[in-house]
Amino acid sequence: MKFSELVAKLSAQNNSLQTNPDCNPEITYLASLEEAEANSLSYIEGGKYASWVNNTKASALILPEDVTLQQKATARGIAWLATPNPRLTFAQALNLFYQPFKPQPQIHPTAVIAEGVELGENVSIGAHVVIERGVKIGNDVCIFPNVVIYPQVVIGDRTIIHSNVTIEERTQIGADCIIHSGAVIGGEGFGFVPTPEGWYKMPQSGYVILEDGVEIGCNTTVDRPAVGVTRIGKNTKLDNLVHVGHNVIIGDNCILAAQVGLAGGVRIGNRVILAGQVGVANQVQIGDGAVASAQTGIHNDVKPGEVVSGSPAVSNKLYLKASAIYKKLPEIYETFKKLKKNL
């Protein structure tokens, strides 16, 4: 589409976009700054990416509200629009050009659906899907091929479940969720009681709740508990290969990056960010807005807003200092031995 048309469509979602009116290329695709060629739209967030304005081959750019950058783009004949959040506007633009694959609404004849299952309107049930008794599926739900859904599961409107996912018994999934391929929701929590005769299996009679807008990454696992619930709050997003143990409670709008592991009973507030491979021990509580950097090992409660790093976790500020000194340990130790002699 013409750049002017794109700007018009984006203006419907944003206030007062600035643009350079002289330039109106045809935009056929979106690209990164590095890979952009003629007829593409890219974006600059500023900072270390700012200098790309001098050499990107994009025909159009989404820029921050930075006059210098805008002048440079104009000088190079690049069409631009300026917004407070270029990445967000780029995402909105991408939605105008691209929609992920979604099968047409239909019940595939190879699907095996138990009697009495409630299906909403306009649902898509893919080939070889299995849905057990007592399941309720909302409107516009899309279930990709080879998914298995155990009894008494509830799935809210517009939720998408990708291939080879397993949803175990009594799981409650809200509206507008996305469960990516291979994930397992509602599997039995890992609970065994030590006895002189060995491990006695704790039955796992609880269930999992995913609230509206939750996204679960590929091959991620969310366990149900012995009693009560495991709950993931509204609009919280989990990346691939994450483990959520039994009875974990996660708040709203959290981000858990790939390979994070949460042991049983962990409580996480709202807007918490856990970077890749973070581990959180049994029963630990993490306050609203806390952040843990990659590979952090959290054994003790984390206060709201705190930023923690390292294993065992300390404040990120202390971690940066201590790990810088850690690198000097060999030379410190040499001097230390001399000091010790003088003692």
Catalytic residues: 246
How far is Cα 191 from Cα 68, in angstroms, rounded to an integer? 60
Task: Note whether 209 binds its own copies by CB under 8 A.
Answer: no
Kindly provide the b/e burial profile for residues 102-140, where b requires at least 16 CB atoms within 10 angstroms of the residue's own CB: eeeeeeeeebebeeebebeeebbbbeebebbebbebbeb
Task: Note whether 57 binds its own copies by CB under 8 A.
Answer: no
Q: Which of residues 189-208 bind its own copies (CB under 8 A)?
A: 190-193, 195, 198-205
Report the residue number, 24 or 205, with the smaller CB distance to its own copies.
205
Task: Note whether 157 binds its own copies by CB under 8 A.
Answer: no
Task: Note whether 330 binds its own copies by CB under 8 A.
Answer: yes
- Per-residue binding string, its own copies, 88-107, x by CB under 8 A, is x-xxx-xx-xxxxx-x----
Task: Note whether 301 binds its own copies by CB under 8 A.
Answer: no
Distance in Å, CB of 36 to its own copies, minimum:
9
Instruction: Say if residue 224 is exposed, middle or buried (CB neighbours under 10 Å; 0-12, 13-18, 19+).
Output: buried
How far is Cα 139 from Cα 122, in angstroms, rounded to an integer? 6
Q: How many CB atoms lie within 10 A of CB 48?
A: 7
Angle at 298 between CA 292 and CA 302, to 5 degrees: 70
Point out which span in 16-24, 61-69, 224-232, 300-308 binds its own copies (CB under 8 A): 224-232
If you compute the radius of gyration of the chain from its CA atoms, what whole number of angstroms results? 25
- Tokens in use for 129? 């899907």
Task: Note whether 261 binds its own copies by CB under 8 A.
Answer: yes
Distance in Å, CB of 189 to its own copies, minimum:
9
Please select the residue that binds its own copies; options are 174, 217, 251, 269, rule is CB under 8 A.
217
Q: In a 3-state reduction of DSSP, which class is residue 84?
A: coil
Report the residue number, 74 or 258, with the smaller CB distance to its own copies.
258
- Tokens in use for 171? 């799981």
Instruction: Say if residue 239 is exposed, middle or buried (CB neighbours under 10 Å; 0-12, 13-18, 19+).
Output: buried
Report the residue number, 78 or 256, with the smaller CB distance to its own copies.
256
Task: Note whether 287 binds its own copies by CB under 8 A.
Answer: no
- Tokens in use for 150? 């155990």
Report the residue number, 74 or 277, with the smaller CB distance to its own copies.
277
Written as one string, the DSSP assignment of 266-299 is -EE-SS-EE-TT-EE-TT-EE-TT-EE-TT-EE-
Point out which span in 15-23, 53-61, 117-125, 327-335 binds its own copies (CB under 8 A): 327-335
How far is Cα 186 from Cα 204, in angstroms, rounded to an integer? 10
How far is Cα 305 from Cα 249, in angstroms, rounded to an integer? 18
Please select the residue that binds its own copies; options are 10, 144, 290, 308, rule is CB under 8 A.
144
Q: Which of residues 59-78 bind its own copies (CB under 8 A)?
A: none
Point out which span in 51-59, 60-68, 75-83, 258-266 binds its own copies (CB under 8 A): 258-266
Task: Note whether 145 binds its own copies by CB under 8 A.
Answer: yes
Element (H, E) at 3: helix 3-11
Report the residue number, 121 or 301, with the smaller CB distance to its own copies.
301
- Per-residue binding string, its own copies, 113-142, x by CB under 8 A, is -------------xxx-x-x----------
Task: Note whether 299 binds its own copies by CB under 8 A.
Answer: yes
Please select the residue that binds its own copies; options are 80, 142, 239, 292, rule is CB under 8 A.
239
Q: How many CB atoms lie within 10 A of CB 85?
A: 15
> How big is the site for its own copies, counted in residues (CB under 8 A)?
117
